Amino acid sequence: MDYNKFTREQVLFLTFAAGCSNMAYTFTWAVYLSKRSSWIVLAIGIMMIIPFAVGILYLCKNYTGYTIFDIIDEGFGRLLYIMVILFYSLITIALGAYILNMFVGSVKVYFLPHTPSWILMLFLVFMSFLFVNNRTLLFGRAVELLTIWYIFNYFIGFSLSFVKEFKIENVIPIFDTTLSEFGEGIFFSMGAASEILLATMVMVAHIPAPYEHRKWIVRGITLWAFILALAVFIMQGISGYEMLSRTTEAGIGVSRAIYIGDFVRGLEVFILATYQLITILKISLYIYGIWIPIKKLFNQKYSTVILVVITLLIFIPSVWLNSSNSAYFFSIFASYFVILPFVIIVMLLAWLGIRIIKRRSGGGLN
């Protein structure tokens, strides 16, 4: 067993967990844009990143064990590699600060209003540090098990909604929005789901024969599209799109309204646990995504020290921001204008890097 590679199932759930990120909160922006058709818009937007994910794997098909950044290093040299890694790290740290603030904001609104935010954040980043500070296979196994747990947990929280709360008139007519709003919703969803691509650019180094096993990534993206669309469909049927579009912690807010008599209440606890696992796993992936290429700069030395520094670099800006509302809108901005454009630029650099490597080795450009 190779402890430095992920298994098929782990790649699927790592891909799913990479998508279940800030989008677990900002999907409400797609609801605001697309109204009753939002669950369809989200599914389409997520599925549209599949060609980019397959493209990343294709670029690395002859470079097993390489991240996409390693190809840039081979082609252009260390200076450009450092610059790209720096931008990648800044984007990733910012995204980590956003999801931490949105989750902690939810906890303080509904459960622990008097607990200092920094204590909650410290706990989350510490747990993430523990998950990442492990062998690759074991990290993948932890993500796999916890992802299955929070999917199961989430739908336990809403399974009883069909008994009393679900109203079909809340989800039909489906296409009650303009074509421009429908299109913008897809564009936003595609940008938000591109966090999967950020993870794939690093994760590809730990996938055996990555292009041959592209179905693993495709299935993970498809699963995320299906689960999110289904979750939004259920929540919209319970509360209507108007309520769903007004809160970042939509899942917790909607679940508080579900009760059957006096014996089924408090389902928001299930949803809170789900959001907590989502946040911990996503912060783990952010740390992992920065840690793997940064270690190369130090020839794989001082790994634990580097891991601690990266964890602190996510924790400190999170405490400084200390605003779930600001984090929500910053995350929306990143989904529109930052994540996917950065991924496209990196892919172009990697493609050019491959051509340079082939020319340098006399292998031609085909």
Q: How far is CA 226 from CA 54, 322, 335, in A?
A: 19, 32, 20
For residue range 19-55, list pLDDT tens digits in order: 988 888 888 899 888 888 889 999 999 999 999 999 9
Alpha-carbon distance values, 171 to 166, 189, 232 (Å): 10, 19, 10
Stretch 162-175: mean pLDDT: 70
Residue 249 pLDDT greater than 70, yes or no = no
pLDDT band at 162 (very low <50, low <70, confident <90, very high): low
Provide mean pLDDT across the span 86-100: 96
Residue 163 confidence (pLDDT) = 53
Number of CB atoms found within 10 A of residue 218's CB: 18
For residue 261, pLDDT over 50 is answered with: no
More confident residue, 364 or 60: 60
**Low-confidence winner among 37-46, 167-176, 262-271 (lowest mean pLDDT):** 262-271
CB 23 within 8 A of CB 277: no
Q: Ramachandran region of residue 260, left (φ > 0), alpha (ψ -120 to 50) or beta?
A: beta
Among 125-129, 222-226, 269-273, where is mean pLDDT lowest?
A: 269-273
- Tokens 């002859």 correspond to 62
Mean pLDDT on 248-270:
53
Residue 337: is its pLDDT beyond 70? yes
- CA 160 – CA 260 distance, rounded (Å): 8
CATH number, span 8-361 = 1.20.1740.10
**Residues 167, 170, 171, 172: is their CA dihedral positive or negative?**
positive
Q: Does residue 103 contact residue 283 with C-beta atoms inside 8 Å?
A: no
Predicted confidence at residue 160, as pLDDT, reads 59
The pLDDT value given to residue 268: 61
Using the predicted structure, report yes or no on whether residue 354 has a pLDDT greater than 80.
Answer: yes
**Per-residue pLDDT, 276:** 85
CA 354/CA 366 separation, integer angstroms: 10
Confidence of residue 252 (pLDDT cuts 50, 70, 90): low
Q: Name every residue whose Cβ is closer than 8 Å to that of residue 318 and which is 6 or more positions away in sequence.
A: 96, 97, 100, 101, 121, 125
Give the contacts of 75 (CB within 8 A, at least 6 positions apart).
Answer: 349, 350, 352, 353, 354, 355, 356, 357
Predicted local confidence at residue 1, as pLDDT:
59
Region of 302 (left: φ > 0; alpha: ψ -120 to 50; beta: rest) is: left
Which of residues 66 and 262 earns the better pLDDT score? Answer: 66
Q: At residue 245, what are phi and psi to the nearest 5 degrees? A: -85, 0
Query: How far apart, in whole angstroms, are the C-alpha atoms of residue 211 and residue 60?
Result: 7
Beta-strand (E) ranges in 91-235? none
Cα dihedral 189, 194, 195, 196 in deg (nearest 10):
110
The percentage of the chain sitting over the pLDDT mark of 90, rounded to a whole number, equals 51
For residue 18, CA distances in Å to 46, 115, 223, 286, 366 come to: 12, 28, 12, 9, 33
Least confident of 87-91, 131-135, 236-240: 236-240
In the DSSP assignment, the letter for residue 206 is G
pLDDT band at 326 (very low <50, low <70, confident <90, very high): very high
Closest residue by Cα to residue 271 from 247, 240, 242:
247
Report which of 284, 275, 274 is spatially closest to residue 149, judged by C-alpha positions: 274
Higher-pLDDT residue of 235, 291:
291
First and final CA of the chain: distance in angstroms? 35
User: Which pair of tokens denotes residue 39?
Assistant: 């669950």
> In this model, does residue 259 exceed pLDDT 60?
no
What's the whole-number mean pLDDT along residues 231-239? 81
Run of H or E including 295: helix 268-297
- Residue 93 pLDDT more than 80? yes
182-193 residue pLDDT tens: 999 999 999 999
Structural contact between residues 101 and 326, judged by C-beta atoms closer than 8 angstroms = yes
pTM: 0.91
pLDDT > 80? residue 281: yes
For residue 301, the model assigns a pLDDT of 73
